[in-house]
Amino acid sequence: MNLAIDIALWAIVVTLGVTLFLRDQPSFSDSLQFARREFLALLPRIAIGMIGSGFIAETLPSELIPSLLGPETGATGLLLGSVAGALTPGGPVVGFAIATAALKSGAGAPQVIAYSIAWALFALPRVLIYEIPSMPARVVWLRVAVSLPLPFLAAWAAMMTGRP
């Protein structure tokens, strides 16, 4: 699956690249230079984020989380879940791994939805490593601010419908 995504991504790269090359050759080499600079600038940050995330995850008190997110915890559980999600570090699997552990040990589905959505939206290392350097900081903080209600909205929908 990982390979399929790499293939899809590079198919897009080749399509766009060939189109640009045929349209305007000097622009094409400019854009290669630009992409190379971006890549080299991102590299050390991503190395820190990726290599560090495993260690950060290892130090988390992940066994505490399930008991805080039981189905009977209601709105408090949603709030706790969202805060815990925001504090869980980025890394591609950390939040999902903890959320699954929580579900298996009896956490409520809405609480886990709030947790995983908050983690996806707010995980601080991800915001700092990837988002801040790529977009103007004002837009990033605006993005974070308008995202604040989203874990609750999704969890509320789950509570109302009784799914999953």
Partner 1 sequence: MTPARRPRRAFDWSAAVVATLAIGSAIFVFFRDGQARFLAILTDDVWLFGSMLPKVLAGCLIGAFITLLLPRETIAKWVGADSGIWGILVATVAGAILPGGPMTIYPVAGAFLAAGADAGAACAFVISWTLIGYTRAIVWELPFFGLDFVVWRVLFSLPLPILAGLAARAAWRLMKPKVIA
Give the one residue of 25, 63, 105, 153 binding partner 1; rule: CB under 8 A: 153
Give the one residue of 27, 67, 76, 105 binding partner 1; rule: CB under 8 A: 27
Query: Which two structure tokens, joined as six digits, stand for 152?
Result: 């609750």
Give the one residue of 24, 63, 74, 87 binding partner 1; rule: CB under 8 A: 24
Selected range binding partner 1 among 67-75, 77-85, 146-154, rule: CB under 8 A:
146-154
Residues touching partner 1, count (CB under 8 A)? 87
d(CA 45, CA 57): 18
d(CA 76, CA 82): 10
Site string for partner 1, 63-102 (x = CB under 8 A): --------------------------xx-xx--xx-xx--
Residue 146 within binding range of partner 1, rule CB under 8 A: yes
Integer-rounded Cα radius of gyration of the chain: 20
Site string for partner 1, 4-23 (x = CB under 8 A): -xx-xxx-xx--xx-xx--x
Task: Assess contact for 116 and 95: CB atoms under 8 A.
Answer: yes
Contacts of 83 (CB under 8 A, 6+ apart): 118
Task: Assess contact for 71 and 112: CB atoms under 8 A.
Answer: no
Residue 62 within binding range of partner 1, rule CB under 8 A: no
Report the amino acid identity of residue 58.
Answer: E
